[in-house]
Structure 1
Amino acid sequence: MELFDVYPLYDVAPVSAKGIEVKDNHGTTYLDFYGGHAVISIGHSHPHYVNRIKSQLEKIAFYSNSVQNPLQQELVELLGRLSGCEHYNLFLCNSGAEANENALKLASFHTGKSKVISFSNGFHGRTSAAVATTDNPAINAPINKQQQVTFLPLNDFDAFEKAIQSDTYCAVILEAIQGVGGLDEPTTEFYQFIAKKCKENGVVLIADEVQSGFGRSGAFFAFQHHGIQPDIISIAKGMGNGFPVGGILIHESIKASYGLLGTTFGGNHLACVATLAVLEVLEQENLIENARTLGVYFKQEAAKIPHVKKIKGRGLMLGLEFDFEVADLRKRLIHNQHFFTGGSKNKKLLRILPALNISKDHIDQFFEALNKELS
C-alpha cells in the first residue's frame, strides 16, 4: 500500500520539537515560524500541555457524548471567561472544516434557507458546504458545487447590500483575517456593515476564526478588533496545539434541540484537556499580549527590508508581500537557514504563523536569515 499522493512535500522529516524548535531525523534544528498552519499556539511540547494530556491519558482517553464529561463544563467556563463570549454556547467537534460545516448547517436550520454569501479568496475547509464556500474551484468537486454560494469582493459595500436584499440567504461566512487567501482583511466599517445588514435581514453571521482565533491576532478573536458580535464563531487549529479539536460558539439566541448537531469524537476527554491546557497557558503566560506586542515589533523590523512591498495581518498572523513569487525563497529558508514559513494563494506572500510565545530574539534571528537569502 502507498499513501494517497495529495501533498507536495519538503524533504524534511521532523522527529521531535520543543518551543519553536523542530529537530529532523538527521539532527538538524529548525525554527518554526509556521506552526503547521497556525496550529502550534503555545509551542511544541509545552510542559503543561504534555503533563495535562499524560495525566488524562492515564485516567480515561475517550468515551462518547452519551454520558457526562465534566471536562466539557470546565472547558466551556474557562473559554467563556477568557474569550469574553459568555453569552454563547459551545459545540465541540474535531477540525476547522467540521466546525464550519456545523456552523453552516445550523444557520440553515435556524433560518430555513440555504444560500450563503462568502468572499473572494476566502478559505473555510475542504468538506461539503465548507469547501463550497471556499473560493477555489480546483478543490470543489461537482457534488460540492450543488451548494448555492455567492462570492463577493471583500470590502465592496454596494455588492454586499445588493446581494443580501434578495431574502434567500441563511448565512454570511467571513474570516476577519484571511489565512490561505493571503492575509487580506475586511475594514472595520465593512465588518460592522455586514453585521448590521445580517441582523436587519435575519441572516446568520458566521465569524470564521479557525486560524485567527485563540489569541493569534493579538485579541482572543480577530473579529473583536472590529467591535461586532457574530451569531456563530468557528474555531479549531490553535485551540488544541496539535491535538485535533474544533468547535463552534453559538449565540444564546439560537436554540438547541436534541439531534440538531452530533459528533462521536468531538469533545472527548483528551481534546478537552488539550484545549484547557492551551487556555491555561495563554492566560498564565500572557501570550495574547505577547502576540500583540511582537506583531508590532515584527512589522517594524519588516519595514526596514526594501524587498518587502506590503506587510499584512495582525498579531502573529502576518504576511510579507514581495514583488516576486516566494516559493523558492521558502525552500532556501528551510534548507539554507533552517526556518519554516508558509505560503498562500497569493504566490508573492510569505506567511508567518509562529507560536505565540516566541521572543524578540527569535524574530531578530528570522530577519537575519531572511536578509541573508535576499542579499
Structure 2
Amino acid sequence: MSYLFPTYQRWEIEPEKAEGTMIFGKDGRQYLDFTSGIGVSNLGHRPKEVEQAIKTQLELFWHVSNLFPQSIQEEAAEKLAEASGLDCVFFANSGAEANEAAIKLARKATGRPKIITFLQSFHGRTFAGMAATGQDKIKQGFGSMLETFIHLPFNDLQALENELDAETAAVMIEIVQGEGGVHVANEEFIKEAAKLCSENGVLLIVDEIQTGIGRTGKPFAFQHFGIEPDIITVAKGLGNGLPIGAAAGKAELAEFFGPGSHGSTFGGNPISTAAASAVMEIVFDKDFLQKAAENGNYLFDLLQQHLCSMDIVKEIRGLGLMAGIELTVTAQPILAEMRQAGILALPAGEKVIRLLPPLNVTREEIEKAVHILKGTLRKHVITA
C-alpha cells in the first residue's frame, strides 16, 4: 500500500543514488539517464559546482521570506535578465507558477482578457495552466475551464491573424512543444507572430520551461529566431533539480507588478536561487553552449543515420538536445524495454519517444543510447 495519491504512473526502478548521467537503482543496476528528470538536470545529477553553491547557502540561511532583500536573488535575476535580454524577474517555485505569473502580468498590463495559445501545447496543471494548454486529455474530469483562452493550430499564421484582435492580451507559445510531441515552431511563423503582436499591442509570452537554460544549444530557444519576447517563463533546468521557476519581462511591465500584485511565500528561496545562479554561470558560457549544440547535432545525425530507414519510425524532430522520435506504434512498451536495457527515455504523447540527455552528455553516451534504441526498435520491426 502507498500513502501517496496515484497521480503518477511510476516506473519499476527506485533510485538509490545518481551522479552525472547515471542513476543507480536499488536493484543493483545502473541506468543511462536520457530524461534529465524531465528536462531538469541539464548538468546531470549532482554537478559539483551547483552542489557546492547549495552547501554554501545552507550554512547561511534557508528561508527568511521576501520581506527581506536577498543578494542571491538579485544575482540570479541579473544573470537571467542578461542572458534573455529582458529586465525584470519574478521568482516562483515551478513552471506552472511561472506561467501563472506571466498570464496575470499580461492581463493586468494590457487590460485585455484573451490569451491565445496553441493546440498540442502544455503550460501546466493549475487551472490557468490547464486552460492555456491545448490538450484536452489533461482537462478531463475537472469541469469548466477558465474562459478567454483560445487554442489555435500550431504554425498556422493565418489562424493567428484571424483570431488576434483588440481583446487579445497575449500570445503564449512554446518554441518546441515538448509534452505535445516535440514539435518545432516554423521560423517564419515565429517571426511573423512576433511582428503581429508588436503591431497590435499584444504581449508575446514564450514558454521556455522545457526549452530554456541551454536545452536547444542557446540560452533560450527564442534566440534561434532573433525575436524579442515581452515575457518568458523558465523553470526545469534553472535549478538543476532544486524547485524554482521564473517569469522575466521587459522593464515597462514592472509598474504592473508592484507590491501586493503578486507573490509567493517560497518563491526565490535562497537555496534554489543559489543553485540557479551556479547553473547559469556554467550553462550560459559560450563554449559550453557551443559544445551542447554540437552534441545536439551529433545526436540528430546518429538518429537519422540509424533509425530513418525503419518502417516503425515515422519522423525524427527536435532542436538541440531535445529530440522526438515519432513511431507508428505505441511508445510505452518500447520505453519499458529500453529501461530493461539500461537507458531511460520519456514519452511525449502516445507514439513519441523523447530524448532529453544532460547538456554535458558525452558522445560515447549518445552513441550508447542510440545503439540501445536502435536494437529495441529493430526487435519490434521483426515481431510486427
Give the Å deviation of 1:2. Answer: 1.8
Is 1:243 the equivalent of 2:247? no
2:366 alignment partner, SS class: helix
Aligned twin of 1:353: 356
SS in 1 for 2:24: strand
Query: Which whole-Å CA distance do the structure 1 matches of 2:73 and 2:144 have between them?
Result: 33
Matches within 5 A, 1:1-375: 2-81=3-82, 83-85=83-85, 87-140=86-139, 142=142, 145-165=145-165, 167-256=166-255, 257-283=258-284, 286-304=287-305, 305=307, 306-307=309-310, 308-335=313-340, 337-345=341-349, 347-375=350-378
How far has the Cα of 1:138 moved from its partner? 3.0
**Are the aligned partners of 1:96 and 1:234 in contact in 2 as well (CA < 8 Å)?**
yes
Contact kept in structure 2, 1:129 and 1:144, CA below 8 Å: no
Change (3 A) 1:99 1:144: farther
Tell me the TM-score normalized by structure 1: 0.95
- Structure 2 CA distance for partners of 1:114 and 1:358, relative to 1, 3 Å: same
TM-fit CA distance, 1:197: 1.1
How far apart, CA to CA, are the structure 1 residues paired with 2:191 and 2:79? 28
Letter in 1 for 2:175: A
Root mean square deviation, CA, Å? 1.5
Contact map agreement 1:101 1:128 (CA 8 A) in 2: no
Asked whether the equivalents of residues 318 and 353 of structure 1 are also in contact (C-alpha less than 8 Å), the reply is: yes
TM-aligned CA deviation for residue 285 of structure 1: 8.7
Q: Distance in 2 between matches of 1:144 and 1:72?
A: 37
Would you say the 8 A contact 2:81–2:89 is kept in 1? no
Farther-moved stretch of structure 1 (194-203 vs 212-221): 194-203
- Residue 144 of structure 1: CA displacement? 5.5
Distance apart, 1:279 and its partner CA: 1.1
Q: CA deviation at 1:230?
A: 0.7
CA distance in 1, matches of 2:281, 2:157: 40
- Equivalents in 1 of 2:355, 2:366: separation in Å? 11
| Deviation at residue 204 of structure 1 after TM alignment | 1.3
Q: Is the 8 A contact 2:219 2:284 kept in 1?
A: no
Greater Cα shift, 89-98 or 140-149: 140-149
Q: 2:171·2:203 contact (CA, 8 Å) conserved in 1?
A: yes
Deviations 1:195-241 (A, max 9, x none): 11111221111000000000000111101111111110000000000
Q: Distance in 2 between matches of 1:62 and 1:286?
A: 34
Secondary structure at 1:254's aligned position in 2? helix
Q: Comparing 301-310 with 139-148, which one deviates more in the overlay?
A: 139-148
Letter in 1 for 2:50: Y
- Give the secondary-structure state (helix, strand or coil) at the position aligned to 2:177: coil
Distance 2:344 2:339 in 1: 6
Tell me, in whole angstroms, the C-alpha distance in 2 between the residues paired with 1:291 and 1:248: 24
- 1:162 maps to amino acid: N
Q: Is the 8 A contact 1:129 1:147 kept in 2?
A: no
CA distance in 2, matches of 1:184, 1:284: 27
How far does the alpha carbon of each residue in 1:80-101 deviate from its partner, in whole angstroms, 9 at most, with x for none? 33x141x421110100000000
Determine helix, strand or coil for the equivalent of 1:320. Answer: strand
What secondary structure, in the 3-state scheme, does the structure 2 residue paired with 1:295 have? helix
- Where 2:324 maps in the other structure, the secondary structure is strand
Deviations 1:46-69 (A, max 9, x none): 111111111111111111000110
C-alpha distance after superposition, 1:106-150 (max 9, x if no partner) = 101011111111101000000021110112223225566132211
CA distance in 2 between partners of 1:309 and 1:88 (Å): 42
> CA separation in 2, counterparts of 1:197 and 1:276?
34
Aligned to 2:381: none
5+ residue gaps, structure 2, are: 379-384
What is the Cα deviation at residue 283 of structure 1? 4.3
Q: CA deviation at 1:193?
A: 1.2
Taking the aligned partners of 2:194 and 2:286, their CA distance within structure 1 comes to 33
Q: Measure the CA separation in 1 of the matches of 2:374 and 2:26.
A: 27
Give the whole-Å Cα distance in 2 for the aligned partners of 1:247 and 1:38.
16
Indicate if the aligned counterparts of 1:75 and 1:272 stay in contact, CA closer than 8 A. Answer: yes
Letter paired with 2:345:
T
In 2, the alpha carbon distance for the partners of 1:193 and 1:280 equals: 33
Is the CA contact (8 Å cut-off) linking 1:215 and 1:287 kept in structure 2?
no
Assess if the C-alpha contact under 8 Å between 2:233 and 2:246 holds in 1. Answer: yes
For the 8 Å contact 2:88–2:254, the answer to whether it is kept is no
Task: Provide the rounded CA distance (Å) in 2 between the counterparts of 1:293 and 1:3.
Answer: 41
Query: Given residue 65 of structure 1, which amino acid in structure 2 is its aligned partner?
Result: N
